[in-house]
Amino acid sequence: MFSRSAPPGGEQRLLTRIWTGLILLLITIAAILAPLRVVLGADLIPHAALLDALLTLLFAADIAVNAAESRRTGLPYGRLLLLSDILAAIPFQLAGGYPWLLFVRLFKLARVAKAMAVWRQQHLHRWNALRLVYFIYWLAIAVHWLATGWLSLRGLYPGADRWTLYLRSLYWCISTITTIGYGDITPANNSQIVYAIVVMIFGVGMYGYVIANISTIIGNLQPARTRYLANMEKLGAFMKSREIPPAMQRRIRDFYGYVWEHRLGYDETSIVQGLPPGLLVEVSLFLKRDIIQKVPFLKGAGDDLIKEIALVMHPVVYTPGDIVFRAGEPAGDMYFISRGHCEVIGTDGLSIVATLREGDFFGEIALLEHRPRSASVRAATYCDLYRLDKESFDLVMAKFPDFAAHIGATSAGRRRQGEETAARRGPPR
Ligand code: CMP
């Protein structure tokens, strides 16, 4: 029921991903090589003509692939993306003396930005890690461009190795951007001074961005923990100001500690409530799979009953010693135990009539017989329970006779046991 089958069109999606990966790699190569070839000479890399032909061909094919993908998904191609794709696919190499024209290919970087935006949507839960990757990607490209810009201002000395010159430029650029600035390479004329100022300003801006985001990024790496700590701080201040007794404070802290540890502090009911009905059923089934597996008669029950129950059960947590309800109280719900132990306490308020464990349920007698609770129930450990309110209970009982029969049989057995115990004790003195 909970197994995940391969989604339809999975193969098609895999091919699209491989193609997108290839195109993004080629765009990145083009973005690295274009300024290098302009500054260091068109003959910098071997087989440049072949590479240009390949880029033109694959970028042209990419337009066809994107158009087909847009038709398949119903999402518009986007005018700006189409324009950048067309510009990048123009075979400028045929014009001759073309190195500067290679820059037009860089419009295709819009594809990278688009892919990043799509990944962001698809992997929101990993947004912090992605944000770091995106930042490093764009920073590396920017540093490379700035380094080649510096190299073009410095000029090539005759006889010098071109890659060594590039390396020196990169070294200058990184030491300036990181504000280390050793001063061993200094601007020699006005245009170089202006350029150096621009790079310094860029470096300061980048620093500002990193510092402003670093605490958010680190904090968001463990969002639940950050939220938990902030809430605990607020809670501590509140309890102090209201002079809550220390023992009670400890129990409140323990409760929140448990909830955060086991549920990451999220209230699953409120989170799933906003989902559309179909997805709501699927998510509820998934979230409650543990209890469905643990309750013996639910495990063997039909899909309809399980769906119905999964939708109407709500999680609640009790800490050790908490009274779930007391004997004689009016009844509004029954409970299933997902984790922990609960004790049924006799009417004397002391004796433990039964200890209920994972997969057991309680609170059904009062609902069935429309009378107050026959006994008190106390959490012996931390307990994760699922609560079923009376209205839903009546509904499920009326709709699913097997469920009603099982609850009825268990309840009758418990009542009989209760009567036998009472008879053994004799009349109250
Ligand atoms: P209810 O009467 O609603 O509230 C107390 C609950 O304790 C009762 O329903 C049963 O679910 C449960 N209970 C009572 N007696 C026993 C028993 N002998 N064994 C297990 N559970 C019991």
Q: Is the CB of 364 under 6 A from ligand 1?
A: yes
The runs of H, that is alpha helices, within 155-302 are 162-177, 190-221, 223-241, 246-263, 268-273, 277-287, 289-294, 296-299
Q: Look at the block and give the residue holding tokens 């290919």.
A: 105
**Residue to mutate, 326, 414, 417, 425, ligand 1, most ligand atoms under 8 Å from C-beta:** 414
Q: Quick one: CA dihedral 168, 173, 179, 185, positive or negative? A: positive
Nearest ligand 1 atom to the CA of 374 is 2
Show Cβ contacts of residue 388 under 8 Å, excluding neighbours closer than 6 positions: 309, 312, 313, 333, 334, 335, 336, 396
Those residues with Cβ within 8 angstroms of residue 319's Cβ, 6 or more apart along the chain or in another chain: 251, 254, 255, 258, 379, 382
Binding site membership of 363 for ligand 1 (Cβ less than 6 Å) = yes
Helix-then-strand count for the chain, H and E: 17, 8
Ligand 1 atom with the smallest distance to the CA of 417 is 18
Ligand 1, from 365, 385, 393, 406: best to mutate by most atoms within 8 Å of Cβ?
365
Q: How far apart are CA 104 and CA 89, in angstroms?
A: 9
Give me the tens of pLDDT residue by residue for the chain, a chain 429 residues long.
334 444 456 777 888 889 999 999 999 999 999 999 889 887 888 888 899 999 999 999 999 999 998 998 888 999 999 999 999 999 887 777 667 888 889 999 999 999 998 888 888 777 778 888 999 999 999 999 999 999 999 887 777 888 999 999 999 999 999 888 888 999 999 999 999 999 999 999 988 888 877 777 666 666 667 777 888 889 999 999 999 999 899 888 888 888 877 766 667 777 777 888 888 888 888 888 878 888 877 777 788 888 888 888 888 989 899 999 999 999 999 999 988 999 999 888 888 999 999 989 999 999 999 999 999 999 999 998 999 999 999 998 998 888 899 899 999 999 998 888 777 776 655
Q: Which residue from 292, 378, 385 is spatially nearest to 337, judged by alpha carbons? A: 385
Give, using CA atoms, the residue closest to atom 6 of ligand 1: 363
What is the number of the ligand 1 atom nearest to the C-alpha of 418? 18
Confirm or reject: Cβ of 378 under 6 Å from ligand 1: no
CB 397 within 8 A of CB 407: yes
Query: How far, in Å, is the centroid of ligand 1 from the Cα of 354?
Result: 8
Cβ–Cβ under 8 Å, residues 30 and 106? yes
**pLDDT for position 428:** 55
- Report how far Cα 318 is from the mean position of its chain's Cα atoms: 28
Q: Which of 362, 370, 393, 407 to mutate to test the pocket of ligand 1 (most atoms within 8 A of CB)?
A: 362
What single DSSP character describes residue 97? Answer: S
Question: How many CB atoms within 10 Å of residue 115?
Answer: 15
Q: For residue 264, is it left (φ>0), alpha (ψ between -120 and 50) or beta?
A: left
CA angle at 10 for the pair 8 and 14, rounded to the nearest 5°? 165
Q: What is the rounded CA–CA span in Å between residue 374 and residue 368?
A: 12
Per-residue confidence (pLDDT) for residue 139, from 0 to 100: 93
Phi-psi region of 78 (alpha: psi -120 to 50; beta: other; left: phi over 0): left
Instruction: Please calculate the CA angle 384-388-393 and round it to the nearest 5 degrees.
Output: 155
Residue whose CA is at the smallest distance from ligand 1 atom 15 = 414
Asked whether the beta carbons of 143 and 120 are under 8 A apart, the reply is: no
Cα(61)–Cα(63) distance, integer angstroms: 5
Cα–Cα distance measured from residue 3 to residue 18, given in angstroms and rounded to the nearest whole number: 26
> What is the per-residue pLDDT for 426?
66
Give me ligand 1 centre to Cα 230, in Å.
Answer: 40
What pLDDT, on the 0 to 100 scale, is given for residue 306?
A: 84
What confidence score (pLDDT) does residue 20 get?
A: 94
Q: Whose CA is nearest to atom 9 of ligand 1?
A: 363
How far, in Å, are 10, 226, 295 from residue 309 at the CA level?
Answer: 32, 34, 12
CA of 383 to the centre of ligand 1 (A): 17
Whole-number CA gyration radius for the chain: 34
374, 397, 410: which to mutate for ligand 1, most atoms within 8 A of CB? 374
Taking the centre of ligand 1 as the mean of its atom positions, its distance from the CA of residue 375, in whole angstroms, is: 6
Residue type, 158: P
Q: What are the φ/ψ torsions at residue 339 (nearest 5 degrees)?
A: -150, 140
Task: Return the exposure string of 316-326: e unless at least 16 CB atoms fall within 10 Å of the residue's CB, then b.
Answer: ebbbeebebbe
Contact call for residues 199 and 150 (beta carbons, < 8 A): yes
What pTM was estimated for this model as a whole?
0.57
